[in-house]
Amino acid sequence: MYNLPLKTMYVDLNSCFATIEQQARPMLRGRPVAITNRLTPNACIVAASYEAKALGVKVGMRRMEAESITKDIIFAETEPDKYIFVHKKLRKIMEEYSPDVTMKSIDEGVLNLALSPENIQNKPNPELVAEIKSRLRNEVGSYMSCNIGISSNRFLAKLAAELHKPDGYDEITPANQREIFGKLKLQDLPGINVRMEARLNAVGIRTPLQFLDADEETLVKMVCKSIDGHKWYQRLRGLEVDDWVSDIKSIGRQYVLESNRLTHQEIEARVIHLAEDAGMRLRSRNLYARGIYVWAVTYDDLPIHKNILLKDPIHTDADIIRVARKLFEEFPAPLRIVGVTLYKIQDSPQAQLSLDQDKVEHNNRLCQATDTINRRFGDRTIFCADSFGTELVKVKIPFGSTRFL
């Protein structure tokens, strides 16, 4: 690792959704709690408290599976409003320490301390960390805790934040990097999944230390076979290569269907609901889409998809629903998961006037009017009649991008 200033701080809320539920509902504290999107037997666990994890409950498990491990487990349904509130509180605290804050997801973010005001830069790191942890407890709740990692880039700061959970604080420095890497497995490193591990194994790299000692040429030519090899070489040495901001490339939603007895028409109603949600997000950013992709997964885990690239960009519900419905026409039923994604996103409408310009204008104005009503009186005050009765498709946790929070 190069001798660079340790100015990147990674803050990660511990078992975020489960801890927030334990903060909100004191009777859940100290108990094994699992959070699911719905309270159905087949629901997937999206977060587990440390008490549940200690008993062997893992994120991604089905509810039934967790119940077979321990009957003591308590299930709570996700409540996105609550998590978004805590996310905003955390972001506000972080923004008081640096003007350069990037939220990586609903429960974690990075501060660039190199741009912090002088009075903050002058504080020793342990003091800063203690202050942020204390503010989280004082301003959100006494049960809240976070892990904080500091290093010279995001990759190493995130790794530092993962070393001692919960409520940990670690720094990765040139002096301790080898010792820390020596205790880890490849998949403990952020960004190393099964496939990347297999590629590293194929050239004899089996440990983080061997990864760190690998020469740049091996990483470029034999492991990544792309510029990513250079990035990994630099990332492992503490240089920042992950501070880019991506444009919005696609906007979409997916839904795990609540029953295997739904007919094609009932599933189509849910697809329309998803199309409406995706359209609303698109218009909230004044964007347009040329591509629509409708996809599904059957109960046999068979993926199905259909997409279309339109000549002219669209953004009204009427247009998005019309195309999504057409694409869904030949899908079978029952299905396990359905999704609608808008892609080829652009920020301007069609360049040429349509021959049917009056109709286009009419549709735009109608859509603006319904959006205004929905903003004033709440989502789905006005919606497509064909998606009636699909309230279960309500917005769930926004994993990943925090753009629409």
Partner 1 sequence: MNQNSYSYNEEPLHEPIDVDATFSRDLLGHCRPIAFRTQSGREVQITEIGLVHPKYDGLKTIFAFDVTDGATDYRLTLDTESLNWYLDFEGDRYV
Query: Residue numbers of the site for partner 1 (CB under 8 A)?
Result: 20, 23-28, 31, 39, 71-76, 81-82, 85-86, 138-141, 143, 374-379, 381
User: CA gyration radius for the chain?
Assistant: 24
CB of 96 to partner 1, least distance (A): 13
CB of 23 to partner 1, least distance (A): 5
Strand pairing partners for 77? 36
Q: Which is nearer to partner 1, 82 or 237 (CB)?
A: 82
Question: Torsion-angle region of residue 71: left (phi > 0), alpha (psi -120 to 50) or beta?
Answer: alpha
Residue in the block written with tokens 């997964």: 297
Beta-strand pair 288-297/303-314: antiparallel
CB of 381 to partner 1, least distance (A): 7
CB of 25 to partner 1, least distance (A): 4
Torsional sign, CA 67, 73, 77, 81: negative
Q: Which is nearer to partner 1, 144 or 340 (CB)?
A: 144
CB of 318 to partner 1, least distance (A): 22
H or E stretch covering 193: none
Q: Which is nearer to partner 1, 74 or 163 (CB)?
A: 74
CB of 85 to partner 1, least distance (A): 4
CB of 299 to partner 1, least distance (A): 26
Contacts for 102 with CB less than 8 Å, ≥ 6 apart: 109, 110, 243, 245
Amino acid at 281: R
Q: Which is nearer to partner 1, 2 or 85 (CB)?
A: 85
Q: Which is nearer to partner 1, 38 or 123 (CB)?
A: 38
In sequence order, what E strands does 299-336 have? 303-314
CA-to-CA distance for 129 and 220, rounded, in angstroms? 37
Q: Which is nearer to partner 1, 75 or 233 (CB)?
A: 75
CA-to-CA distance for 62 and 279, rounded, in angstroms? 31
CA-to-CA distance for 301 and 174, rounded, in angstroms? 46
Q: Which is nearer to partner 1, 85 or 388 (CB)?
A: 85
Q: Which is nearer to partner 1, 87 or 158 (CB)?
A: 87
CB of 81 to partner 1, least distance (A): 5
Determine phi and psi for 355, rounding to 5 degrees: -65, -25
Torsional sign, CA 113, 115, 117, 122: positive
CA-to-CA distance for 33 and 296, rounded, in angstroms? 31
**Is the separation of the CB atoms in 107 and 13 below 8 Å?**
yes
